[in-house]
């Protein structure tokens, strides 16, 4: 039983993050362009909302979203985020069951994420890149997401991180990671502190 628990803990630790929903089309994660850390430019998408509609909450796209020069207000993501739950390969777990701790902070300069398992801590600093596509259809925010563009990272170079808000105080973090010659995906749900 101890061996199973240890192996199970390693699997969770290896996947290292992200929960909420499962992805249907990873190819959407590649349709992006790089932007600055304080303002994140939008990219055009055929599924964009009517630019004349006024945004009603932070989950909506900015007005004039078809204008290439319009910008996304990254301040909707700013704050300290606390892990609530996660999912890796269909296995759901609470923050208490995860066996690791995380810290996610987003500010005008970008994002800082750290992950601690036992006495080993890995972290990254990243810029945010706005994407005019959801993490996946039916995710809870079908309007937009952001990509974490690594500045510095202790994680594998192949790992990719994306996020979106499903409510004003709930963030979904998605991670694609190499696993046994394939690509795994994990999700973490965070609440704003």
Token representation of residue 114: 């750290």
Distances, alpha carbon 169 to alpha carbons 15, 19, 128, in Å = 24, 15, 18
Q: Alpha-carbon distance 174 to 135, whole Å? A: 8
Cβ atoms of residues 149 and 159 within 8 Å: no
Instruction: Grade residue 71 by pLDDT with cuts at 50, 70 and 90.
Output: low
In sequence order, the β-bridge partners of residue 192 are 81
Domain count within the chain: 1
In sequence order, the β-bridge partners of residue 86 are 93, 188
Please tell me whether the overall predicted TM-score, pTM, comes out greater than 0.85 for this model.
Answer: no
Q: Which residue has the tokens 């850390």?
A: 37
Q: Where are the beta strands (DSSP E) in 33-181?
A: 40-41, 71-72, 79-88, 91-94, 101-107, 110-117, 120-131, 145-153, 160-167, 170-179
Q: Alpha-carbon distance 106 to 76, whole Å? A: 10
| Secondary structure class of 182 (helix, strand, coil) | strand
pLDDT tens digit sequence for 138-177: 889 999 999 999 999 999 999 999 999 999 999 999 999 9
- Identify the domain containing residue 154 by its residue range: 2-192
Predicted confidence (pLDDT) at residue 17 exceeds the cutoff of 50: no
The CATH number of the domain holding residue 73 is 2.40.128
């Amino acid at each position: 039983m101890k061996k199973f628990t240890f192996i199970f803990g390693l699997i969770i630790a290896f996947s290292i993050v992200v929960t909420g929903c499962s992805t249907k089309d990873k190819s959407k994660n590649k349709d992006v362009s790089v932007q600055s850390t304080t303002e994140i430019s939008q990219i055009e998408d055929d599924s964009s909302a009517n630019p004349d509609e006024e945004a009603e909450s932070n989950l909506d796209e900015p007005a004039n979203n078809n204008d290439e020069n319009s910008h996304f207000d990254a301040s909707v993501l700013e704050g300290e985020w606390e892990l609530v739950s996660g999912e890796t390969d269909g296995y759901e777990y609470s923050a208490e069951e995860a066996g690791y701790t995380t810290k996610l902070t987003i500010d005008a300069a970008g994002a800082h994420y750290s992950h601690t398992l036992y006495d080993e801590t890995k972290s990254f600093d990243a810029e945010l890149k706005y994407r005019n596509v959801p993490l996946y259809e039916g995710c809870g925010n079908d309007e937009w997401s952001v990509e974490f563009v690594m500045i510095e990272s202790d994680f594998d170079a192949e790992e990719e991180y994306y996020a979106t808000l499903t409510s004003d105080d709930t963030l979904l973090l998605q991670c694609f990671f190499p696993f046994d010659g394939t690509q795994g995906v994990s999700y973490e749900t965070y609440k704003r502190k």
